[in-house]
Amino acid sequence: MEKQKSFSIKPRRLWLFSFTISLSLIFFMFFSIYVLNLPLSPRHQTHLHFNTTTTTTTTVSLGLRSPFNIQTLTALHRNYSATQFKNSILVSTHFSTLENESQISNISTFQAILEDGSVKTSTLFGNRSTKTEIVSSKDLEIVSVNSSVLTWKQQNVSITLSKKGEVSSDVLKVLNNKKECDIPNGKWVFDESYPLYTNASCPYIDEGFSCESNGRLDKNYMKWRWQPQDCDIPRFNATQMLELIRGKRLVFVGDSINRNQWESMLCLLMGAIKDPRKVYETRGRRITKEKGNYCFKFVDYQCTVEYYVTHFLVHEGKARIGSKRVQTLRIDTIDKGSSRWRGADILVFNTAHWWNHHKTKAGKNYYQERNQVHPRLDVSTAFGKALTTWASWIDRYVNPSKTQVFFRSSAPSHFSGGQWNTGGHCREASQPTPATYRGEYPEKNTIVEQIIGNMKTPVTFLNITGLSDYRIDGHPSIYGRKPGTSSRVQDCSHWCLPGVPDTWNEILYMHLESKRRKSLTN
């Protein structure tokens, strides 16, 4: 029988094997530490993507490494953490490079102003890896980058922060996409940086609106800025506005209140013109209340800013009643000057002021449809019929892919103690009425909104009634004519320039700029 061999390990071999294993472990540990501490290459960048459910993406390049795809900042998972910013505005953001050897990229200090006015600050951490991490939510969207212009849709925006290491950005704003800015809800704020022009700098203010030239000594009426409750109206940028209308026609159509706004627009735009000789009225007309049609050309921008008078938007004519020919308002026929409006790129309409005189209010033998003159017709009914005629003209002749249409709401009058022809006045007012004041919302505005809502052509309603109603101090009053003119009539309907119509144009500018930004994303 063969002798069985025994299995044994000699002590020398055991020591050699243990030493080899230990040395390998020590080498692997030091090699791992060395690899983890390698510096990041400056050639790589981190791209922070803000996505909504659409395919549009907003990108912020931060000079870091690896991508972060973030749809919004709630419903966080994995190794991301952030405070839920519902109904908030992101006002300050700081970004920094890797802070430790665990390969964590730190994006810190998200500071948000919440609806109740409080401020919240949170830190967002993202794991640097080759695999894309996603943070999703449906409550937030990018509002604007590097601009005070407020928009409410997803935009394509890309900014690159070139500094290495810690970078700070105060231009990123986030707003709940379910809550639009309520422009009419706010207050007037005294602002020493206003007005944006003066009577001396603008040659286009006619006598009726040139309150300072007519002897008004107080200047505070020029220095009020409208501040909505939950957003900011961007300060009017004359250069940018001229770029927006480069090669286009900006046309104001309406009564003398629209002429008020049109003159304001001319004055605002002149702030960007170096050579006034390159701005002129195409027919050499000087602005007065007697002539109703004007076309100013801005040569360097190949654009025109025009005004066409029409008190009612429909045709003022005459009809025979018995043996007499009487003045009528043809509420089924557009104004005869409508051919001048066609082809404009931006149309700003208004009507309301003249629907308050004795003929329209009484409605006796005044409103005409076809060959019929109504013996009596309610002014609200007639106003609705006239606006329907206007809406039909817009839907028929305006190409919405070329032309933006605006309809400005009625501007309030502030007569006390009577009307314009019965001793009404507003001379004593030197400040806006208190913020607690709430005037009645005009029925005419409601009618306009209803008709606009039924049109196939998009029309933007510029609701300036409420914010203007606070400004009893903004009317010419006795300063609507040269000193020494004998007249007991005060103007508490029109507005001094500079003044309230400048705010109307800032709101118009905001809408045009918002439209431009939206078009860039499409």
Q: Which residues are catalytic?
A: 256, 491, 494
- With tokens 């025979």, the residue in question is 320
Using DSSP's 3-state secondary structure scheme, residue 15 falls into helix
Using DSSP's 3-state secondary structure scheme, residue 332 falls into strand
Are the beta carbons of 438 and 404 closer than 8 angstroms?
no
Q: Is 85 exposed, middle or buried (0-12, 13-18, 19+ CB in 10 A)?
A: buried
For 255, the enclosing helix (H) or strand (E) is none
Longest dimension (CA), the chain: 152
Whole-number Å distance between alpha carbons of 410 and 53:
39
The beta strand positions in 350-424, using DSSP E, are: 367-369, 372-373, 404-408
Render the burial of 112-127: b for 16+ CB within 10 Å, e for the rest.
bbeeeeeeeeeebebe
Nearest to 332, CA basis, from 392, 377, 376? 392
Nearest to 239, CA basis, from 272, 274, 202, 196? 272
> In this structure, what DSSP letter does residue 336 have?
G
Whole-number Å distance between alpha carbons of 330 and 369:
6
Please state, as a whole number, how many other Cβ atoms lie within 10 Å of the Cβ of residue 290. 6
Are the beta carbons of 343 and 289 closer than 8 angstroms?
no
